[in-house]
Amino acid sequence: MIRWKGFDRWLPEYWRTRHLRRDRQFGEPTELLLCICDHFEPKRGNASAAKARSRVQQWIDQYPALFDHFRDAEGRPPQHSFFYPQDEYEPELVELTATLCRRGYGEVEIHLHHDNDTPEGLRQKLDDFKTTLHTQHGLLSRDRRSGAVSYGFIHGNWALCNSRRDGRWCGVNEEIDILRQTGCYADFTMPSAPSQTQTPTINSLYWATQRSGPRSHDRGVQLGVSPPLAKGLLMVQGPLLLDWKSRKYGFMPGIENGNLQKNQPPSENRLGLWLRSCVKVSTVPSWRFVKLHTHGLHEPNQEVLLGPQMVQFHQNLQEAQSADPSFRVHYVTAREMANLAWAASMHEISSIAEARDLYYRRC
C-alpha cells in the first residue's frame, strides 16, 4: 500500500526538507500568490451534451455574482485557471468558458488525458489543440521573445512523463521535451499524492529536463539557484504536507495536497499549511507561491467552489489583509504565476503587477 500510494517516493524528501517549512508569523512580509488550477472537464462521467453545457453555464452564472466584490492588493477579483481537456473539446463549451475569461475572471490552458500514446501522436494533439484554442477562440498566450503561441499544461490522471508503474494513461517517456517544443511554458500537474505518480521533489519551483526513460520530472534544478536551463521545462508545484490536525483512525496524519473538493474545502488551517509549505524562489523569499487544484465541474465539488465555503475563504483573506498590512493577497492565473516565478529567479522585478506579464502575455 505504501508503494502503491507513492509514499515511498516523497516521504524521505519530506523529512529531509523539514527545516524549510515554517509557520508564517504575524507582521512577516508576505506576498501570497494564489492560483487555482482547474481540471475543467465538462464531460466528466460521460455526461450528455446538455449536462456538460449546464455545468459550464453554472460557472458563468454564479462565479461573477459570488466573487466579483472581492479584491486583492492590486484591485483584481479572484482568478480561475481553466485547464480544458483536449480529449473533450467542444467548440460551444470552450467558447462559453472563454466568455467568463474575457470578463476578467481567469484564463484557459491545456489539459490532456491520453493512453498508450506515441511521441508523434502526442505532439500532434498538443499542436492541433493549441492552434484551435488560439485561432478559433482567441485563447492562450504569446511568448514576448519569440511571438510563439504558448500554454500551461496539466496531465490527466497525474501520469506526466509516463510516470505510472503500469505505463497507463500516457505512454510517452519524451513528454517533457515535447511539451517544451510545442510551446508549453510550465507544467502544473503536481502534487499528485496519494498516487504512485508523485515526484520525490515536493513544494518546489524547478526546471525539469528530458532524460532517458520515464519520470524525467522527478528531479530538477531549483529556480533561483542557476539561470534557466536552455532545455528545461518549468515545473510549478502546489503544497504537499502531512496534516497532523486532520488525522485518520485517530493517529495517522492526513495529506495536505492543495486539492479543493467536497471533502477538502478551504479553511484557515489549510491556508496556514499552504503558507507553511514555503513554495518560493530563494531570491525573493517573501513571495509565497500557492498553487491549488480542483475538478471544478464535478457536482459535489461545485458545492464548495461555487458555494458559501469558498465565499468565506475569500472573506477571510480580505480580513487577514486588513488586519496585517504586511500580508498581501494577489490572485493570479497559471500564466501569471509562471511569469512571477521567472521574474523572481531572474531578478527582473519592478512590481508584482508588472511581472505578471513578464515573458508570456495573454493573447
**Domain residue spans of the chain:** 7-17+30-362
pLDDT-based confidence at residue 163 (cuts at 50, 70, 90): very high
* pLDDT > 80? residue 3: no
Q: What is the pLDDT of residue 257?
A: 97
Q: What is the pLDDT of residue 1?
A: 65
- pLDDT tens across 40-62, in order? 999 999 999 999 999 999 999 99
Which candidate, 172, 227, 159, 234, places its Cα nearest to that of 204? 234
Name the CATH topology of 7-17+30-362: 7-stranded beta/alpha barrel (3.20.110)
Q: Extract the C-alpha cell encoding 288.
A: 509565497
pLDDT-based confidence at residue 252 (cuts at 50, 70, 90): confident
Mean per-residue pLDDT for 88-102?
97
pLDDT-based confidence at residue 133 (cuts at 50, 70, 90): very high
- What are the phi and psi torsion angles at 202 (to 5°)? -135, 155
* pLDDT > 90? residue 347: no
**E strand intervals along the chain:** 30-39, 80-85, 106-112, 141-143, 149-155, 184-187, 205-209, 221-222, 232-236, 241-248, 252-256, 259-260, 287-294, 327-331, 360-362
pTM score, whole prediction: 0.96
pLDDT-based confidence at residue 115 (cuts at 50, 70, 90): very high
Residues 6+ apart with CB under 8 A from 326: 27, 28, 29, 30
Report d(CA 149, CA 183) in Å as an integer: 6
- What are the phi and psi torsion angles at 297 (to 5°)? -105, 10
- Across the chain, mean pLDDT equals 95
Q: What is the pLDDT of residue 4?
A: 62
- pLDDT tens across 192-231, in order? 999 999 999 999 999 999 999 999 999 999 999 888 888 9
- pLDDT tens across 173-187, in order? 999 999 999 999 999
- What are the phi and psi torsion angles at 196 (to 5°)? -65, -15
